[in-house]
Amino acid sequence: MSDNLYTLIRSRIQDPAKTFIETGEGRVFSYADTFALAQRFANALVALGVQPGDRVAVQVDKSPEALILYLGVIAAGAIYLPLNVGYTLAELEYFIGDAEPRVVVCRPSVEKDLAPLAQKLGVAHCLTLGSKGEGSLMDKANAASPDFQAVARQADDLAAILYTSGTTGRSKGAMLSHRNLSSNALTLVDYWRFTRDDVLLHALPIFHTHGLFVASNIILLAGAAMIFLPKFDAEEVLKQLPRVTSMMGVPTFYVRLLQSPDLTRDLVKHVRLFVSGSAPLLADTHKEWEARTGHRILERYGMTETNMNTSNPYDGDRVAGTVGFPLPGVSLRIADPESGKILAQGEIGMIEVKGPNVFQGYWRMPEKTAAEFRPDGFFITGDLGKIDERGYVHIVGRGKDLIISGGYNVYPKEVETEIDALPGVIESAVIGVQHPDFGEGVTAVIVKQKDASLDEAAVLKALDGRLAKFKLPKRVFFHDDLPRNTMGKVQKNLLREQYKDLYKR
Q: Which stretch binds ligand AMP (CB under 6 A): 81-89, 299-307, 311-319, 451-459?
A: 299-307
The angle formed by the CA atoms of residues 91, 231 and 470, to the nearest 5 degrees, is 35
Among 158, 263, 279, 467, binds ligand AMP (CB under 6 A): 279
**Full 3-state SS string of 203-243:** CCCCCCHHHHHHHHHHHHHHCCEEEECCCCCHHHHHHHHHH
> Do 431 and 495 contact (CB within 8 A), yes or no?
yes
| Cα–Cα dist 387/335, whole Å | 11
Residue 214 in contact with ligand AMP, rule: CB under 6 A: no
Among 278, 285, 311, 322, binds ligand MCA (CB under 6 A): 278
Among 56, 66, 215, 250, binds ligand MCA (CB under 6 A): 250
Smallest gap, in angstroms, from Cβ of residue 308 to ligand MCA?
7
| Cα–Cα dist 125/130, whole Å | 17
Residue 409 in contact with ligand AMP, rule: CB under 6 A: yes
Minimum CB distance to ligand AMP smaller for 63 or for 309: 309
> What count of other Cβ atoms lies within 10 Å of the Cβ of residue 391?
11
Smallest gap, in angstroms, from Cβ of residue 493 to ligand MCA?
22
Residue span 307-346 as binding mask against ligand AMP, x where in contact by CB under 6 A, dash where not: ----------------x-----------------------
| Cα–Cα dist 71/64, whole Å | 11
Q: What does each C-alpha distance from 497 to 97, 357, 425, 432, 492 come to in angstroms?
A: 39, 37, 23, 11, 9
Among 82, 101, 205, 280, binds ligand AMP (CB under 6 A): 280
Smallest gap, in angstroms, from Cβ of residue 307 to ligand AMP?
9
> Do 114 and 21 contact (CB within 8 A), yes or no?
no
Which alpha helices (DSSP H) does 13-135 contain, by range?
A: 31-47, 64-75, 89-99, 111-120
Coil, helix or strand for 442? strand
The set of residues, in sequence order, having a beta carbon less than 8 Å from that of 82 and lying 6+ positions away, is 58, 59, 70, 160, 162, 206, 207, 208, 212
Which partner from the list ligand MCA, ligand AMP, none does 469 bind, CB cut-off 5 to 8 Å by kind?
ligand MCA
Residue 299 in contact with ligand AMP, rule: CB under 6 A: yes
Smallest gap, in angstroms, from Cβ of residue 174 to ligand AMP?
8
Q: Which of positions 201-230 make contact with ligand MCA (CB under 6 A)?
A: 204-205, 208-211
Minimum CB distance to ligand AMP smaller for 239 or for 398: 398
Which partner from the list ligand MCA, ligand AMP, none does 24 bind, CB cut-off 5 to 8 Å by kind?
none
Residue 310 in contact with ligand MCA, rule: CB under 6 A: no
Residue 20 in contact with ligand MCA, rule: CB under 6 A: no
> What count of other Cβ atoms lies within 10 Å of the Cβ of residue 360?
17
Q: State the DSSP code for 305.
A: T
Q: Which stretch binds ligand MCA (CB under 6 A): 68-76, 222-230, 401-409, 479-487?
A: 401-409
Among 205, 223, 249, 302, binds ligand AMP (CB under 6 A): 302
Smallest gap, in angstroms, from Cβ of residue 438 to ligand MCA?
5
Minimum CB distance to ligand MCA smaller for 302 or for 412: 302
| Cα–Cα dist 449/420, whole Å | 11
> Do 369 and 352 contact (CB within 8 A), yes or no?
no
Q: State the DSSP code for 505.
A: -
Q: Which stretch binds ligand AMP (CB under 6 A): 17-25, 53-61, 296-304, 459-467?
A: 296-304
Residue 6 in contact with ligand MCA, rule: CB under 6 A: no
| Cα–Cα dist 262/466, whole Å | 39
Residue 62 in contact with ligand MCA, rule: CB under 6 A: no
Which partner from the list ligand MCA, ligand AMP, none does 398 bind, CB cut-off 5 to 8 Å by kind?
ligand AMP
Nearest to 66 by CA among 6, 128, 20, 4: 128
Torsional sign, CA 155, 156, 158, 159: positive
Residue 439 in contact with ligand MCA, rule: CB under 6 A: no
Residue 232 in contact with ligand MCA, rule: CB under 6 A: yes
Minimum CB distance to ligand MCA smaller for 183 or for 252: 252
Q: What does each C-alpha distance from 417 to 117, 390, 422, 427 come to in angstroms?
A: 23, 43, 9, 9
Among 64, 77, 277, 385, binds ligand MCA (CB under 6 A): 277
Q: Which stretch binds ligand AMP (CB under 6 A): 107-115, 184-192, 274-282, 470-478?
A: 274-282
Residue span 402-431 as binding mask against ligand MCA, x where in contact by CB under 6 A, dash where not: ---xxxx-----------------------
Smallest gap, in angstroms, from Cβ of residue 237 to ligand MCA?
10
Q: State the DSSP code for 169.
A: S
The string of DSSP letters for 356-373 reads TTS---BTT-HHHHHHTB
Nearest to 27 by CA among 15, 18, 35, 19: 19
Which partner from the list ligand MCA, ligand AMP, none does 390 bind, CB cut-off 5 to 8 Å by kind?
none
Q: Which chain residues interact with ligand AMP by CB under 6 A?
A: 164, 209, 277-280, 299, 301-304, 323, 381-383, 395, 398, 404, 409
Q: Which chain residues interact with ligand MCA by CB under 6 A?
A: 204-205, 208-211, 231-232, 250, 252, 277-278, 302-304, 405-408, 438, 469-470
